[in-house]
Structure 1
Amino acid sequence: MVKKKKKKRAQLPFRLNILFFVVFLSFSVLILQLGVVQILNGDSFQEEIERTIEDTSKVPVPRGKIYDSNHDVVVDNKAQYSITYTPNKGVQAKDRLKVAETLAEFISMDTDGITERNRQEYWYLKNKDEADSRVSDEEAEEMGNTEFYDMVLDRISEDEINNFSEEEEEVIAIKKELDKAQSLTPQIVKNEDVTSEEYARVAEHLDVLPGVNATTDWNREYPYDDTFRNLIGSITSQEEGIPGDQEDYYVTRGYSRNDRVGKNGLEEQYEDVLRGTKEQIRYSTDKGGNVVNTETVVEGERGKDVVLTIDMEFQERVDEIVREELDKAISEAPYENRNMEDALAVVMDPQTGELLAVSGQSYDREENEFNNTASKALYDAHRPGSIIKGATMLAGYESEVITPGQTFYDAPIKIAGTEEKASWKNLGLVNDLNALQQSSNVYMFNIAMRMGGEYNYQRNETVAFDSGAWQEMRNYFRQFGLGSETGIDFPFESTGYVGSQGNAGNFMDYAIGQFDTYTTMQMAQYVATIANDGYRVRPHFLKEIRNPVASEDNLGSLYHHQNTDVLNRIQMDQDKIERVQEGFRQVFQTSNGTGYSYFGSKNYNPAGKTGTAENEVYDEDGGGVEQYTENLSLVGYAPFDEPEIAFAVIVPNTGDASGINHYIGEGILDTYFDLKEDRSESDEEENEDE
């Protein structure tokens, strides 16, 4: 019997088994990983997919308005059409060019401001491949992107950029403005002279103008035209934005670089108040930079309103008085007055420091016109002349070199080696009141010599002089604000020129206002201090700050009221101050007073002091003194017993213009009290009607 042979079972090679096992493990690990991703980390990965980026944009708001003390609008906001551009993140130059080309179909654009660089960049975008090919690979390897780009632009010829059509130039001008825009921040493209037709065309085609909007903007409007504009100041344009030297200051306070800010005057002084609160909009963008959601997180509010102490009706009249008197003085004696250009006046409440009017008029001989230059009252300093004799007299009392009622014989004084010094005429025996009333220089010279140590003056002899008297006298003067800051709420003020400490003759000149120089504002603060029984108050333009309201006809609620700020009380006895006050009264109200012919008949009980200071005008070719001119000055206040108005007037470099300072001062006081009476009668009539 034959046995059947058994078949052998086929067996997989060992290596193949290992391979299968490895594959099995790999799939197991992969499944495990998928489980971890799906179960444990699924939510976080889904959040990453859906993740958006949030940014906040700040939208400017209109500035606060400025009102005068009667709540009449001095600076307003005028609405105007505006075309703006707010780019998404990641917008490229070619995208902005496309927007510019489309926008140019709907608006016209001034092309005066485009530069050679703007033209080069436009040509580059239109001819990128050709432009890039002008830089070899070897050159490109050795430079960064910026250097490469600059080299490409440099190799664009003038011929290639100088033959653009008018339409292309407008595209370039529009793109220039679009390029200034920061992501998600509105940039004004055009807001000057946007016509209603342009506004409508853009508004109708916003769907093909990504980032562009047709909206309304604002600009400053001045109902009183040029009146007080010199002190109101101005704001920067959208093109100017924040001044370069102040960028860090403003950016750290939440400003954008293209924000308009007050660049001088009261617009700058009260920038923090007038600027308002920007509207803040939160934008959510996806990874592609597309806006997927917007949300207003802070409602915008226009700036607070500033109410000034200035009475614009009174201001206009003071400007008119100053301008007319200056015009008359120049036209009546044009040769003698060829150096006379300015007349300045400051009017304030001596008890509160409120400025009622600040006027400056300058004559432009080339244009034959007058300009409003009121800010010169704060930064132009001049020799004041005899108006400061009240301070000199009080310095004499306080230093105890004279006593009330003391007399000196007013005759020319001659110190060895110096020119003779005298009053405007020989006044004979004068006491302190006579010295103010008749403006005795010699009396002041005796005070100066005595403060310098000389009590036994002999004609044509030398005198002893202690140079420490300079500092002593200046310290007294500074108590009145002469030679120091007045503290006014304005971005800048001058403190005047302080001359070097000279000899006894110079010191005598100083005592009569013929040495150091002061601003008109300092002179006004000085006379206000005398009128206010020795209390020096800070002059100020701000009366109130009001919250903004939607209504155009009403002021908002009171946010802040400016109180009187007493800077110091002069260190002089009240009876001595009253002695000087009486001398000032006699200047205006007694027959021998130097201001009597102008103020003696007034019923508002005025007091004050006249002044004249001599200047030397030097030949332009260096040939020495060509001409002597005079500064004519005047300070005063009224009523004498309860002052409510104080003023200072200075007319520098006059020739034959005697009396102009008095005419201006008289006009100021007359106008103030006439206006007060008219308003009082008007109020009475209104009350009767009610």
Structure 2
Amino acid sequence: MKKNQSRTKKAKKMKKNFLAARMNILFFAVFLLFSALILRLGVLQIVNGEDFTRQLERTEEVVVNASVPRGKIFDRNGKVIVDNRPVNAITYTKTQQTSQDEMMEVATKLADMIELSTDDVQDRDIQDYWIRENKERADAKITDEERALYDEGELSQNDYDKLIRDRITEEELAEITDQEMEILAVYRQMQTGYNLSPQIIKNEGVTDEEFATVSEHLDSLPGVNSTVDWQREYPYGDVLRSVLGSVRSIPEDQIEYYLARDYARNDRVGTSYLELEYEEVLQGQKSKVRTITDKAGNVIDSQLIQQGERGKDLVLSIDIELQQALEQVVEDELRRLKADPGRNLMDRLFLVMMDPNTGELLAMAGKQYVETDEGPEIQDYNIGTFTSAYEAGSSIKGATVLSGYQDGVISPGSYLRDEIIRFPGTDPKGSWYGTLPNPINDLYALERSSNGYMFKIAIGMSGANYVPQQPIDIGPSTFTKMRNYFGQFGLGSETGIDLPGESVGYQTNNPLDLIPGKLLDLSIGQFDTYTPMQMVQYVSTVINGGNRVAPTVVKEIREPSADNETLGPLVKAMKPRVLNKLDNTQAELDHVKAGFYRSFNGPQGTGRDFIGNGYEAGGKTGTAEVVYFGPKYDELYRSRGLAAPETTNSTLVGFAPYDKPEVAFSVLAPWVYPNVANSPLREDVNENVGTKALEVYFDLREKRMNEGGADEDQQVEVTAEQAEEGQ
């Protein structure tokens, strides 16, 4: 018993000692942890205290993209045709903490130092300014009931503000002075863009005095800076100007599109034609700057995280010297024609030159006669070569003959009777020279520009049997068939040109118009309309072996050069793009090409003005009798209850040299003279322009050959698979 009690006491004592030891260990561990914590706090406060204080004040990091100049544009010979010119600029950068009052104060001071147009100030801007400057009068325009709805949250802020704006009278807005409008113009520019991103206030026409004045007062103009910006410069003036396109601020209706592609609201973009089509190439790589601000929104550090690089350069297929000379040819001819008051409807003229083998456009000239308040002037209308369409007349007869081959209606050398076609209810239709006693073949038909031969092809396509004065059944399907054939040449189809806004011409599908007589008109180019670009593609397709090659304006894409003056490393060379291959044999193509030769060189040829110019050319002339619905139709005829007058288009397609064509061209002169018998105004404008164009081309080529700088011809070999795939 005593033994057991002794053991119990001993066990209790051991247990007590064990617990005490564990408690000591625990207290020691806690001591060590607190010591480490105190040591760490000491390090944080004493050693790194200042650094962490600064970090706490760094409330935001913002990455700002800085704009860079766009890529340059060169012609095919390396001549700069679009450059970037440094200009003085006034910019403004707002922070996250900048208030509207502070911005208005800066705008007021800045408006006294620079002149800024108020044209961009919108009605909404003026209304908002009036509300800002007349708060009590603005609030008085809201009824108690409306204010109660607003306070209860049943009327949104936008609707509340709109009620005020709608009730501001014209008399109240007229209270705003011209000086206030100038302030508002500056303020409006300051509001656009993002925080910490410089926004251009003025970069056009900044005078030296304005630049110096602003620079001297930067201390009193927080956020304002005087710097250097860039603007597009055109060393050749208005030559090719409309095709090159424009660069300006992002249009309002495209803001979301560009924001989704990492653009800023204050960026400049290409808004038309070449600048628009190649925006991604020309835009360049922006520099990126990480900006760190403190709690007050002040910039305390900036770090360049990506170096900017101006956009890549474009090398065009255009020969700017040739373009300049041909624009002058077109302008001179248009001025000469407009000197005669009888040509009151004629107001435009077009000429396109292309390498028929590669599709490279060498020149695309268009001019328009415009009556302005200062008097008439000739303006650039180069874009009209692919955006406007007209009846082309007999120029397209080569396509009609080749379509006849494809359809099995005729074969090379087929003879048909050239006679007047007579349908009930339709005026008689025939060739310009009347009838011939004997049948003629396709070569003679092209040489003398026979309408009757083309009419017989069209009737044959319909499957009808022609009997004079008897009706024939020609349905819409025959129109569709002929249009599909023509589309293989590019007539009535997209040419594939690397520019936006292309017209495919007009093709009516109104059943009332799809009658036998109109099918005959279609076969001679007097029904559907075509662009000058479609016409040069058509003749190129015939003479290059049947390959419909897409016209191209851009030849190469290159990196910016180190010296910023010459061509940089090649990024991409544009290859000829074949859209389709004609379903004609080479023998058939050669036969029509021979017909084109006879048209220019045969004894009955309609284009004999091309004889004796030092080269052999081929092609086809055209004269289309049309009803005028041009820009003066409403003013001169419709408004007076008068019928639209009949007039004439003068057209031409051609190529040279005949044996190995290196250049194809088209000429289109709409509404040249009234369509009346024996008109004294009748003349061959098409041949006038065409012969001068080839003269310019070959003179320039000879000059360069003598200088040792002639371009090498490029030939295109196309397989059937490539033609089917449109490669």
- Normalised-by-shorter TM-score class: 0.7 to 0.9
Farther off after superposition, 466-475 or 272-281: 466-475
Query: What is the CA distance between 1:569 and its match in structure 2?
Result: 1.0
| Superposition pairs of residues 22-421 of structure 1, within 5 angstroms | 49-104=56-111, 106-111=113-118, 113-114=120-121, 141-142=151-152, 170-236=182-248, 241-332=249-340, 334-335=341-342, 337-365=343-371, 367-421=375-429
Q: List alignment gaps of at least 5 residues for structure 1.
A: 1-30, 686-690
Corresponding letter in the other structure for 1:493 = E
Report if aligned partners of 1:387, 1:609 keep a CA contact under 8 Å in 2.
Answer: yes
Using the size of structure 1 for normalisation, the TM-score is 0.86
Query: What is the CA distance between 1:195 and its match in structure 2?
Result: 2.1
Partner of 1:28: none
Corresponding letter in the other structure for 2:463 = G
Using the size of structure 2 for normalisation, the TM-score is 0.82
3-state DSSP class of the match of 1:281? strand
Report if aligned partners of 1:590, 1:600 keep a CA contact under 8 Å in 2.
Answer: no
Farther off after superposition, 486-495 or 166-175: 166-175
Distance 1:463 1:586 in 2: 34
Partner of 2:620: 609
Distance 1:166 1:368 in 2: 34
Distance 1:155 1:441 in 2: 68
Report if aligned partners of 1:617, 1:625 keep a CA contact under 8 Å in 2.
Answer: no
Q: Does 1:662 align with 2:687?
A: yes
Distance 1:657 1:258, change over 3 A: farther
- Of 688, 693, 701 in structure 2, the residue corresponding to residue 676 of structure 1 is 701
Distance 2:137 2:562 in 1: 57
Q: Deviations over 1:327-346 (max 9, x none)?
A: 222324x22x2211111111
Q: Does 1:543 align with 2:555?
A: yes
Partner of 2:460: 450
- Of 555, 564, 567 in structure 2, the residue corresponding to residue 555 of structure 1 is 567
Distance 1:130 1:450, change over 3 A: closer
3-state DSSP class of the match of 1:481? coil
Report if aligned partners of 2:543, 2:589 keep a CA contact under 8 Å in 1.
Answer: no
Q: List alignment gaps of at least 5 residues for structure 2.
A: 1-33, 630-636, 674-680, 711-727
Farther off after superposition, 292-301 or 176-185: 176-185
Distance 1:401 1:611 in 2: 23
Corresponding letter in the other structure for 1:479 = Q
Farther off after superposition, 641-650 or 150-159: 150-159
Q: Deviations over 1:29-61 (max 9, x none)?
A: xx99x9799599989996973443111111111
Q: Deviations over 1:603-650 (max 9, x none)?
A: 321000011111124742575645321111100001111111001111
Report if aligned partners of 2:194, 2:265 keep a CA contact under 8 Å in 1.
Answer: no
Distance 1:181 1:95, change over 3 A: farther
3-state DSSP class of the match of 1:288? coil
Distance 2:709 2:493 in 1: 44
Distance 1:392 1:643 in 2: 22
- Of 457, 466, 488 in structure 1, the residue corresponding to residue 497 of structure 2 is 488
Distance 1:684 1:493 in 2: 33
3-state DSSP class of the match of 1:611? strand
Query: What is the CA distance between 1:323 and its match in structure 2?
Result: 1.7
| Superposition pairs of residues 471-486 of structure 1, within 5 angstroms | 471-486=480-495
Report if aligned partners of 1:322, 1:344 keep a CA contact under 8 Å in 2.
Answer: yes
Distance 2:348 2:306 in 1: 50
Q: Deviations over 1:414-473 (max 9, x none)?
A: 233322111011344311110111111111111111111134x33222335465322222
Report if aligned partners of 1:381, 1:497 keep a CA contact under 8 Å in 2.
Answer: yes
Farther off after superposition, 192-201 or 369-378: 192-201
Number of residue pairs the alignment of both structures matches: 646
Query: What is the CA distance between 1:177 and its match in structure 2?
Result: 2.2
Corresponding letter in the other structure for 1:289 = G
Farther off after superposition, 499-508 or 398-407: 499-508
Corresponding letter in the other structure for 1:96 = M
Could you tell me the percent identity over the aligned residues? 43
Distance 1:582 1:81 in 2: 61
Q: Does 1:581 align with 2:599?
A: no
| Superposition pairs of residues 577-656 of structure 1, within 5 angstroms | 577-596=589-608, 598-617=609-628, 619-620=637-638, 625-655=643-673, 656=681
Farther off after superposition, 148-157 or 570-579: 148-157
Query: What is the CA distance between 1:144 and its match in structure 2?
Result: 6.3
3-state DSSP class of the match of 1:382? coil
Farther off after superposition, 521-530 or 177-186: 177-186
